[in-house]
Amino acid sequence: MIYSSELLKGTLKTIVLKLLADNKKMYGYEITQRVKELTLDKIQITEGALYPTLHSLEADGLVTTETEFIGKRVRKYYSLSPTGKTKTKEKVSELADFMETMKFLLDIKPKTA
């Protein structure tokens, strides 16, 4: 099952920030591949969603970029800024809290073995 883009929309920033927190610096393609890997293909970030989000994070000062030349190509690496690091913690705990609330709201019983 692949989750709908609507579901992903509100969490994409958090996902990207958390990945950057765990991996120091990443480029766009790497981010999409890593998410795919980690979620066993359940979450596939589209280019159309990823890059606007990265640009907006950059404009917010949460991430910084550095460019690297690979032959004729230019690769932009993204990494967290100091404010980005604190923001990531906030965002992750906010999302965790949100998921708890959703569980309660939608009355989802945790699967117990």
Partner 1 sequence: MYQLNDQQIDYIFNDISARGVEMESLQLNLHDHVCCIIEQNLEENGDFESFYQKTIQTFYKDALWEIEEETLQLLTNKNYYKMKKIMIYSGTLSVAGFIAGSIFKIMHWPGASAILLLSMLNISLIFLPLLFILKTREVSAMKDKLMIAIGTIFGILFSISSLFKIFHWPGANLMWLSALGILMFVFIPIYFFSGIRTPETKVNTIITSIILISAGGMLFTLTSLKPSTKFYIGKTYNYLQGEELITRMHSIKNDTTNQNPEMINLSKEIIENCNKIKELIIIDGTGIKSIPKDFETKDIILQESGLGKEFDLGASGMELIQKLKKQINLYNTLVNRNKQLPIDNSIERMEKMELIRLSNYNLLNSLTDIQLFILQNEKGLTLN
**What single letter denotes the amino acid at residue 109?**
K
Residue 28 makes contact with partner 1 by CB under 8 A: yes
Shortest CB 94 distance to partner 1, Å = 19
DSSP readout, 7-58?
A: HHHTTHHHHHHHHHHHHSEEEHHHHHHHHHHHTTTS----HHHHHHHHHHHH
Q: Closer CB to partner 1, residue 72 or residue 111?
A: 72
- By CB under 8 A, is residue 27 in contact with partner 1? yes
110 binds partner 1 (CB under 8 A): no
Nearer to partner 1, 12 or 80 (CB): 12
E-assigned strand segments in 44-110: 63-70, 73-80
Determine if 113 is a binding residue for partner 1 (CB under 8 A): no
Using the minimum distance from each CB to partner 1, give the nearer residue, 47 or 94: 47
- Which residues, other chains included, contact 66 with Cβ-Cβ below 8 Å and sequence gap of 6+? 25, 76, 77, 79
Provide the binding-site residues for partner 1, judged by CB under 8 A. Answer: 27-29, 32, 46-49, 51-56, 59-60, 65, 67, 70-76
